[in-house]
Structure 1
Amino acid sequence: MRQAVIALGSNLGDRAELLRAAVADLNATEGVEVVAASPVVVTHPVGGPEGQPDYLNAVVRISTTLGPFELLAVCQEIETAHDRIRDVRWGPRTLDLDIIEFGGLSMDEPTLTLPHPRAADRAFVLVPWAMMDPEARLNGQPVRALAEQAEDLQGISPRSYPLLTDAAAQGPAE
């Protein structure tokens, strides 16, 4: 099984419930087990149209037997199931799932770049990741140190929305 890190975000609808549902959907996927989840943070939008609502963001670590492209397809299916519409780059969305890191793999393909090419600059990914795993590293650098240097650090505030329900925390049903 490989370990992967997935960032989750939502700024439309019942944001906390959408994040919880996405984690449950990941955990219900054959070959995927959510093994850790960060606290949820509230963040100002980075890029995209003016006037967007704030995001709720979080990070999960999974163990998976899936390959990176299979996992990408799962993430996109979950987004679509929760009414994600892709019409404006960095626009508002019900749900966004990004693979940040996948078992130390490095790749640059048209549909998937690993590690995620902008993760090292984004506090909305780095802060919850460091909260979940203080020893985490991205591109050989400590995630905590990268978070402290991120330009969007001031727009982040932690919240206490649990992502893992009791059922999700127990793993998939046998």
Structure 2
Amino acid sequence: MEYFRKVTGLETGNVYKISIGEHRTFTDTAAHFQVARSSLIKVLLELGVCQKEYDAVIREYRYRLHPDAAKKGLGYRIMGPKGPFDVLSPTAIEWIREELQDLLKSTSISPETTHALSKLQLFDAQYRERMNLEGRVRWLFYHFPDLNRTEVAKALCVSRAIVQRYIKIQQDQLRRAHQAKAQALS
């Protein structure tokens, strides 16, 4: 969502709205980068952009933008009508974009999965638009069917259940295609 700052002109007294850029919530930022929200939170914690705070209204802990990060201009801590929420500034989103892949790759992944992911990146770089998450999962398991599903899920920053769902869809489509081909030949 685009945020504006109201500024009063000193000479005329007119109020002007100045755009301060497209800000995103943690969930929107995770969707933008096509990673799970929990993975994005881990990256934000590593970068010192967010912290865990107790919310007395809902009586639970929640992840909020760190006050120091808000002072540095990396986002805003907003009290909305339905409770507090935080947004990340374009500066923070760009910083996360630069650091996200390095921090996610630092997890322990087997050499086979790393090799498959590098092949996926080479394949994906040949096209103007990146494949979506489902396309990446399906490509990996079509070309590398023996990969560990948990490691692939960790490398792509999604849950194992999502990887499993996309693999099942792919297997069902391949099975139906083979059946249709066999019926056409007979």
TM-score under structure 2 length normalisation: 0.23
Ranked by relative contact order (alpha carbons within 8 Å, sequence separation 6 or more), the top structure is 1
* Structure of higher CA gyration radius: 2
Between Structure 1 and Structure 2, the one with more helix by share is: 2
TM-score under structure 1 length normalisation: 0.24
Between Structure 1 and Structure 2, the one with more strand by share is: 1
